[in-house]
Structures are given as C-alpha cells and as structure tokens.
Structure 1
C-alpha cells in the first residue's frame, strides 16, 4: 500500500520548491536532500509536484489559490525554481495572478542559454549559480552557492577492513571506485580502460564500478564487462550495480575516480571526500572547484581527459601510502568544513532573507 503524502497548509509555508518533472534527476535529488535540512533550520519549505518522497511536506495543486494570501509572519513566499518548466509557472503566479511571490532560480548549467531561458532568468528576483563556472554563463547578477552533502551519511569507516567485508570485498586489497550512472557521458569506459592498463602491474589493487545502466545504455555496459573479461580482470574490476546504501560502498574505497566527459555539477567527488577518499577527477562540471590540488591537496584534477592520464594519476597517488593517507585527512576536513549540506541550506536561507522588502 503506497505511503500517504504529507500534505501541509500553505499558510505556514514560506518557501515552495517545485519539482515539475517526474523523471529522477540531479535536481530532484537536490530537493530531496535539502528540504528536510532547510526545515530543521526553520525555513518552512514545502515541495510541489511529482516524483518526490511522501515524507516531504507537500502542497496540493488545488491549494495554490491560497497563495494569494501572504504566509504567516511574512509579506511573500519564495518560489525556488531549478528548471525552465518551474520558472514559467512562478512568473504566471506572480505577474499574471498577482500572488505575493518572490522568484529564485538556481542554475547548474555550463553552456550558453537559449533566448527563452535568458528571458525567463531575467524575470527572477534572485539568481543562484552552483559554481563559478556556471556563474560565467549567466548574464544577470547572481550568487554562487555550491551544493553540499550530508556528512552524517557520508562519513569514513571506523574499520575499513570491516567495511570492505560488509560489502563482500577482499579486505586485503585496496580499492579504486567509480560511482554513478554507467554511460559514455559519465566516462565509465575511460575508467575501465585506465584500470585495465593499471591493475596487471598492481596486484594489491582492485576497482569497483557502482551504478545503474539504464535500458539504452545496457549494451554499453555489457561491452565494458566483455572487455574486462577479455583482459582477465573480471575478478578485480567489479560491476556491483546500483545500491541504496552507496555511502557504505564509498567507505570501502582508498581512492575515487570521477571520469566524466561532461557534468552539470557532480556530487560524487564530495561524497567520496566526505568518506575520506581522495579524488582523481576530470576537469568538468564543478570538479576543479571541489577538489583541492594545492596544499592541503585532496586529489588531482586532470588537464588531459583520457584513460592513459587517468591511469598515470591513479598510479602516482596510490604509490605512496603516506601521501594518500594525508590526502584522505585533507579530503575529509575539506568536505566537512566547506561542503556540508547545512552550509548550503544556511546560504539559501540568507538569500531568501535578502528578498524581504
């Protein structure tokens, strides 16, 4: 029996987080993670739309007429959009139906916007960019607020050997991980090629690929598995599929590789660092803003994208256990001090406050 949604009265809601696409995406995940934290901080946020867990505070479409009345204790509500499809209804509610709303848009895009998107963005009362790279594509004043992660969920293992056993891995081996959707865009093939190059000479290492291949990428995944088998490494380059307890898998890692060819923001390096795993990342998305390459370094950002450069960087980092251990300490401190989800939520709260007249 499906769980009943937690519907709330708009009168007590100060911020609306619309999610008007059914398909699970990074935007959906952001809303799911952020809203409970924002509410713990007293920001009075509710979601609107499909594809969200029932435990989140939801608004009903039939209750939208109540938005003509300002919420308790404020002169307006904030409509926080993260897509074009969510900016447009906000504009209609505010400018056509004259509801007391302030419109906020968060952009993660790192490409030139269409004329339509630019028009929508110009109608916003405030614009947030998730990285400096993203901010560079915006033609309006904006504030950079980078995503954060839950450092209570993503935390180091108390006993790494036991963490490996719990996931069915060999505690005597060191593991390099690549987590996320299995597809060309995510660079899974480059990671596999890098591991095929590296592992024959490093019998102390193994690799873990965690994530799902959607229907149209199954052939891509099967091709990678065949390549691994042909290289005689099927027992050391492991495809473990999608897991809800992904933080447990991060805790098994000694090093994380983010091999993406393209990325909007990219949370996986943060999740890895929060569990104490240093990172080798391609220079896409916000990775160069997440991974520190200068002292105190938390990893390496590759200027050249390719399996050979990835294998070389991985080999260099894994070669010195002392340096890797120091990077692990740096990565954990870096993630906790700068990229906690509480910090992101507090920064959003400050942005909302600036909209009060």
Structure 2
C-alpha cells in the first residue's frame, strides 16, 4: 500500500447541521440495490438542502439518476473488483476531494470503501457502508485478506453504517472494531403505491417474481433448481427473473419454458405488481432492497434467512416467509404452500405494505444518515490507531 497516494488534508470547519454540509458519495457498483439506495438517499439529501456530489463511473444510469436527483456527478472510472487500476482510482478520489471539499465522504460497498479510505486516510470524516461484507462473497485466502483489510481500514473510518443489526454482528465476528450505526435500508413508498398503474404483464397461473442482479449472491440458480418441484404441484405457475448480470447466460440456458427472463428494467414497480409472490433466495445480504420494494408494493415475500432478512419482515411473517439459504427443497415447499393459499397471500401483502410504510420509508433512512453526518462532521477525525490483531 505504500506506493498509493496519501489523502489530502482538506477538512473544512466543524458544522452542527446538515443543510449546510457537503457530502461526497463514492459508489461502485452502479446497478442493482446499492445504486437504488444511493439514488434514494441523494434525493432525500438534496431535498433537505444539502450539497451532494457523487463519484461514480460516467455514462451509467447511476450517473444520470443522481444528476436528476439534484446531485453533482463526477466521473470516477472504477471497476467492481480491485486490480491494477486501483492506484489511479485512489488518485482520482483525492482529486475529487480537493475539488469538492466535502465535509463527509460516504463510501458505498467494498470497492469504493477500499479506494476512498486509502485515498482519504481519515483526514476528513469518512463514512463506510458495506451493503454486505465482501468477505462473505469469497472463501479461503481471499476471504482472509478481505477480513484483514476491513479490520485495518477501521482506523480510517469515522463511522461504519450497517443496514441491519445482523450485518453489524457479522462485522464484529470478523474482528472489525469501529464506531457503528445501524440504519435500515428504506424505499420511496410513494413510488410503490399499489394498483396505481396496471402490471407490466399478466399471467394465467400463479406468478412468482424474483428481482435482482443475476449473480451468485442473489441465488437465482437455487430458485431454478427448486422450480421443477413447484411445477409438479402447480403446473400453471410462472416464474419471472427481472435483472441482468454475470450469470445471465447460464441461467437462460437452464431456464425451462415456464420461466421468463425479463432482463434489466428501468422500473421494477410494474413487475412487483405482476407477482403473486416475490422471492429472493440470496446467499448473503446486508438487508436486501428488493423485498422491501415488493412489500411496499403490497406483495408478500419469501426470502432466505441471511443478514437483514428477519429484521425486514413484519411481525409474525417469519414462519411463512423465511427459508434456509441454498436449500432448493425447502424453497420449493414454501412457494407451493404460499401459492396454494391466495387469501393468506393477500393478508401477508397487505400487512407487508403497512409495515414498510411505517418502518422503512426512505425519509427515515435519510434522517438517520443525517444524524450520522452531524456526529462525524462535528467531531475530531479519528486517531490513526494500529489495527487490532486477530
């Protein structure tokens, strides 16, 4: 790490509020749940009078969306994974910090968290939001290195924001010692008002929809392995996979005729309205956004019991709506059981909508993040301490 650039010492004076603060979000990836979380947060922040800048790859839907939301987008041509371009990516963040002069740098996901913290090195308040820990996605030596980095980088982090208590506990078990805040993901509940527009498609039989990037994390391969058991009981059932990603070609090749692959879409809301049941069989999460969006649309969800899943569900829904991860048989049995009870699905969907409106409105998320910014911007930068040995 010694050849990477040193962070700029450009910390502005302390401020007590947030309407006069400047936040620089550093974001990679640029699609999926993380991007939607960032756009909703940026919109809430600009509506509250905050100056917001976003560093992300140019020419992407995220760059266009944050501009539309009132932020200042800046080109940061970063790829998802660490590689030989990392020093250049870090230097660019240093340039943007000197240009934007933010009061707070807010890095989203592992890659941005790596590059931003190396670039800034604690010289201005830095918030890191993992959106699920990187070491959960890998194994062996790579996972050990990722855990070591997260423990080390805590010295350059004013606050780690986790989207669930489960995610925080996962970090603590990995040896990450930091100041923590838990701020649940939120959704724009008005955007997912039920029945304001017709669904994008109508199917004759019971319809299951899965919204998410087509990748190992989201577990669509587990869903496809479970699907024949569902068809054996409910031959008219249909499954829709909404999204695209690195596993797209393989999943398309494995999908039977009863499965529709809709690809990437600009608006997921009509697809939720087309569903009788929304399923997300993830292998790991912090707190998945798609189930919150589905519940905001008045649709019941079935999710694997990973970090944040139980916290996101309404009281009493866990026995119906949670299954073990990577268990196609349990997933299929739960889908059949729920799809065979339309009245139960209706009740679960109605309660889900009420739950998200009261607990997961993005305005609550924005207010909680504002409290984090007030705390870190009004406090001295953390001492550069030695990492804790594990």
Residue ranges of structure 1 left out of the alignment (5+ in a row): 1-9, 69-75, 95-100, 229-233
In the alignment, the residues of structure 2 paired with residue 21 and residue 108 of structure 1 have an alpha-carbon distance, to the nearest angstrom, of: 11
Relative to structure 2, which stretch is displaced further, 246-255 or 264-273? 264-273
Q: In 1, are the aligned partners of 2:214 and 2:244 still within 8 Å (CA)? A: yes
Match of 1:109 in 2: 132
TM score, norm. by length of structure 1: 0.78
Other structure's SS at 1:152 match: helix
Shift of 1:288: 2.2
Q: In 2, are the aligned partners of 1:274 and 1:332 still within 8 Å (CA)? A: yes
Q: Which has the higher contact order (CA 8 A, sep 6+)?
A: 2
Alignment of 1:118-267 (within 5 A): 118-136=151-169, 137=171, 138-158=176-196, 162-163=198-199, 167-170=200-203, 172-214=204-246, 217-225=247-255, 228=256, 234=257, 236-267=258-289
Shift of 1:243: 1.6
Q: In 1, are the aligned partners of 2:27 and 2:54 still within 8 Å (CA)? A: no
Match of 1:5 in 2: none
Q: Provide closer, same or farther for how the CA distance between residues 173 and 102 of structure 1 changes in structure 2, counting only shifts above 3 A.
A: same
Q: In 1, are the aligned partners of 2:295 and 2:301 still within 8 Å (CA)? A: yes
**1:79 and 2:105 are equivalent in the alignment:** yes
Between structure 1 and structure 2, the one with the greater Rg is 1
Q: In 2, are the aligned partners of 1:178 and 1:256 still within 8 Å (CA)? A: yes
Q: In 1, are the aligned partners of 2:164 and 2:311 still within 8 Å (CA)? A: yes
Q: In 2, are the aligned partners of 1:108 and 1:131 still within 8 Å (CA)? A: no
In the alignment, the residues of structure 1 paired with residue 326 and residue 320 of structure 2 have an alpha-carbon distance, to the nearest angstrom, of: 16
Q: Provide closer, same or farther for how the CA distance between residues 40 and 295 of structure 1 changes in structure 2, counting only shifts above 3 A.
A: same
Alignment of 1:46-65 (within 5 A): 46-51=53-58, 52-53=63-64, 54-55=67-68, 56-58=70-72, 64-65=97-98
Residue ranges of structure 2 left out of the alignment (5+ in a row): 1-11, 14-18, 75-91, 136-143, 380-390
Q: In 1, are the aligned partners of 2:131 and 2:285 still within 8 Å (CA)? A: no
Aligned residues, how many?
317
Q: Provide closer, same or farther for how the CA distance between residues 78 and 213 of structure 1 changes in structure 2, counting only shifts above 3 A.
A: closer
Alignment of 1:318-329 (within 5 A): 318-329=339-350
Match of 2:373 in 1: 352
TM score, norm. by length of structure 2: 0.72
In the alignment, the residues of structure 1 paired with residue 162 and residue 177 of structure 2 have an alpha-carbon distance, to the nearest angstrom, of: 11
Q: In 1, are the aligned partners of 2:287 and 2:312 still within 8 Å (CA)? A: no
In the alignment, the residues of structure 1 paired with residue 351 and residue 242 of structure 2 have an alpha-carbon distance, to the nearest angstrom, of: 24
In the alignment, the residues of structure 1 paired with residue 225 and residue 96 of structure 2 have an alpha-carbon distance, to the nearest angstrom, of: 53
Q: In 2, are the aligned partners of 1:34 and 1:341 still within 8 Å (CA)? A: yes
Q: Provide closer, same or farther for how the CA distance between residues 332 and 120 of structure 1 changes in structure 2, counting only shifts above 3 A.
A: same
1:289 pairs with 286, 293, 311, which one?
311
Match of 1:271 in 2: 293
Other structure's SS at 1:284 match: coil
In the alignment, the residues of structure 2 paired with residue 213 and residue 64 of structure 1 have an alpha-carbon distance, to the nearest angstrom, of: 31
Shift of 1:281: 0.8
